[in-house]
Amino acid sequence: MRLYDSMSQEKREFVPRDPDHVTMYFCGPTVYNLVHIGNARPFVVSMVAKRYFESLGYRVTLVENITDIDDRIILKAIDQGRTAAEVAAEFAQAYREDTDRLGLGRPDVEPLATEHISDIIGLITELLERGHAYQAGSDVYFDVDSFEEYGKLSKQQVTEMRHGARVAMGEDKHAPLDFALWKGAKPGEPAWDSPWGPGRPGWHIECSAMSLKYLGQGFDIHGGGRDLIFPHHENEIAQAEGARESQFVRFWMHNGMLNLSQEKMSKSLGNILTLREVLDQHRPEALITVFLGSHYRSPMEFSEEVLREAEQQVDRLRNVFLELADRAGSAASARVSAFQPGAEVRPAGADGTTPEGVTAAGSTASILQKVATRQEAFADAMADDLNTAAALAELFGIAREANAALAAGELDADTAAQMRAEMVKMVHVLGLDAVAGGNDHVPDEVAAMAEERQQCRARRDFARADELRTTIAQCGYEVRDVPGGYKIVRTR
Ligand SMILES: [Zn+2]
């Protein structure tokens, strides 16, 4: 597998530090607000990368922090007459709920900055001992001049960077580029005890301390949005390598930013578009498809239209999964009743209208060959710096082959089952399991109602049967009558 590294600015063969274990750290949100749709992109990228490495057989540890102490949290707390801890707890919980809805699972560790104060103090102490930091009043600053390689990630010269740097009011640092590791508490601010008096950590030191704690020096992949390269990631490198004197991270992985079509999308909502709002209006699979439809390093257009298009793609894909399940005859979604008088019990899909069993061995072989070719292309795309856009295209390609073969009556049950199984693996890597799940998981009560409805019909109690159909529809399912029985189809 080849992965682009923003430090060396090239794709390099990815070999993890430990032979069978991939270690990843992604910068998570600062929790002072509902997460913006832009914050969802690194979350999706990190979770899909984790799934991909797992599909290659690696064990993966993904750490994604939550910044729960920050100026913006403190300001919001003052504004609302609450404590900073209350504000942070509320929005950390909202972040977990909103990202849970994506159905991608969670990172393995989601450390909170405020729960790692002693680790942070420990790292600052190391930096002071090594001469990379100094105390100024009740603050501690990193001494940028003490770290010769400063600027190596963002490819900037320190002399040039100095022009843009400012010293803010109340800061007592020696040079404009120096940055706070520890901030002495101002009256009324949340504070923790430290060797330098009560205060709180700077933002950058938090990520160095927590990534080193959970993954150790020289871990495999550090990721986040491109906008974090400078100063955040530059500072993380200075801190970690200044303290430990060895390479901090093997690969730097940065995702591109979102271009929101302002007039189309955010005008009516102000300038903030939250993940929650998007997921209230669109299926998570559609949003994931939008993200994966662009290479993670590219900037991407994001609009209502793009989402709607993705929704249609996802629907078509879901239908192919349903049709394949029907043809395979093994899906839990497709049930055939034994209670319809005169109907013989047959597997779903074998409704007597499809030319089952007449498929020529040759066409089956050629379909499976096409699937194998596309699968190989899918694997190659993912191995080429996680080219999910190309991988998605192969998945949609297989779906088209399946559709054509189904329409032509060329798929026997075994081939349909095999195609479906291969597609399930692909959608799993891409985090689109819900598309394949379709209605594999019909709730028991829905299945029971459908069964009861069938019995009502058998004894010609059509009023009760219609009632049940309505109730089933309210649960988001539709009962379709097919020759020999019925099937249950999820409608939302
Ligand atoms: Zn960070």
Are the C-beta atoms of residues 200 and 226 closer than 8 Å to each other? no
Alpha carbon of 458 to ligand 1 centroid (Å): 64
Are the C-beta atoms of residues 443 and 488 closer than 8 Å to each other? no
Contacts of 23 (CB under 8 A, 6+ apart): 16, 17, 60, 61, 215, 216, 219, 220, 221
- Segments in the chain below pLDDT 70: 167, 169, 261-272, 330-361, 438-441, 483, 492
Q: What pLDDT score was predicted for residue 354? A: 41
DSSP letter at 345 equals P
Alpha carbon of 484 to ligand 1 centroid (Å): 59
Alpha carbon of 28 to ligand 1 centroid (Å): 7
Q: What pLDDT score was predicted for residue 338? A: 32
DSSP-H helix ranges across 226-265: 234-244
Q: What pLDDT score was predicted for residue 352? A: 39
- Give the global pTM: 0.83
Alpha carbon of 224 to ligand 1 centroid (Å): 8
Q: What pLDDT score was predicted for residue 345? A: 36
Residues at Cβ < 5 Å from ligand 1 ion: 27, 207
C-alpha triplet 333, 339, 342: angle, nearest 5° = 115
Q: What pLDDT score was predicted for residue 272? A: 58
Alpha carbon of 107 to ligand 1 centroid (Å): 15
Structure tokens at 346: 């047959």
Counted residue by residue, the chain has a size of 492
Alpha carbon of 29 to ligand 1 centroid (Å): 9
Separation of alpha carbons 12 and 36, rounded Å: 32
Q: In what order do the strands lie in the sheet with 249-255?
A: 59-64, 21-26, 219-225, 249-255
Alpha carbon of 385 to ligand 1 centroid (Å): 22
DSSP letter at 67 equals B
Q: At what angle do helices 234-244 and 117-129 cross, to 10 degrees?
A: 70
Alpha carbon of 88 to ligand 1 centroid (Å): 17
The domains found in the chain, sorted by start residue, are 2-281 (3.40.50.620)
Separation of alpha carbons 392 and 397, rounded Å: 8
> Is residue 76 classed as helix, strand or coil in its secondary structure?
helix
Contacts of 365 (CB under 8 A, 6+ apart): none
Separation of alpha carbons 237 and 179, rounded Å: 13
Q: What pLDDT score was predicted for residue 356? A: 43
